Amino acid sequence: MTTVNQQSIMARNGCIIQAAFFRPDGESKAAALIVPAMGVSQSYYAAFAAWLAAQGYLVATFDYSGMGQSNNGDIRKLNLTIVDWARFDCDAMIDAISALAPNRRLYWLGHSLGGQILGFVPDRSRIAKAITIATGSGYWKENAPSLKRKVWWLWYVVAPLATRVFGYFPGKRLRKVGDLPRGVMDQWRRWCLDPEYAVGAEGDDARANFSAVTTPITSLSFDDDELISLRNTASLHACYENAPRTMKRISPRDIGAKRIGHFGFFNARFEGALWQQHLLPELS
């Protein structure tokens, strides 16, 4: 039987992160850290995490500081960026799950943004393998066609205006992404307007950090993803130029489904077709 423990984790910058640890019945065979997409609560991954724990893995989910259960105050007062999430939140979660599963392989399961920020994590040596899910560059001119028609208005008008007026990005009110600290939204906007995304917007240090990643990476992407195009996927993973990379493009037709999309992988209806057939073989 899977046991779920809630825990507060303090990051090195003083932020408190709320995390959940899904423990298998008996000794864990390995550990898996689920690193969330932008604006997505850890509760979205709970069914998947519980299933993975039932397969014998110690699994952790968490909310980035300022998001979901980790939003501990006035979002207007949070001086945070996406890079802070990688350097502090993700680093603290690696510490926490490694302490609970010493001498076990650690897998990084990054959904969307969670696969984009691996290059900013300070100590990647403890990660045995990264599996990115629906992950690609957010450069707007390479976005999926249905999204590209909308994001010009978001990046050039809505985002800068809303953050200036409200002091944060009021995504819930606007029905876009979710509420985000101003620094997060400002940085994400800069990334999405740069042809080289994060490494282009952040400069030579970021480029060197991504180039230094040697952790094996498997990309699981979907050809009906409404946000991330094939070009987005290829350009983002090219930044990890020295990491062994395996790119897997999956169509709903391949698994007898009508739709997968950007968020569908974590739906329990894909336990057999995606979790069993495409994820578990990567956790070895």
Q: Residue 190: is it exposed, middle or buried by C-beta count within 10 angstroms (0-12/13-18/19+)?
A: middle
pLDDT digits (tens, 9 = 90+) for 257-284: 999 999 999 999 999 999 999 999 999 8
Domains of the chain: 3-138+207-282 (3.40.50.1820)
Q: Is the pLDDT of residue 1 over 80?
A: no
**Tokens linked to 218:** 């498997």
Give CA torsion, residues 282, 129, 235, 205, to 10 deg: 180
pLDDT of residue 220: 98
| pLDDT, average across residues 128-134 | 98
Residues 207-245 have pLDDT tens digits of 999 999 999 999 999 999 999 999 999 999 999 999 999
Tell me the average pLDDT of the chain. Answer: 95
Count CB atoms within 10 A of the CB of residue 259: 10
Find tokens 């968020």 and name the residue: 263
> Given this model, what pLDDT does residue 186 score?
97
Q: What percent of the chain has pLDDT over 70?
A: 100
What are the tens digits of pLDDT across the range 29-53? 999 999 999 999 999 999 999 999 9
The length of the chain is: 284
Confidence tier at 9 by pLDDT (50, 70, 90): very high
- Distance, CA of 237 to CA of 160 (rounded, Å): 28
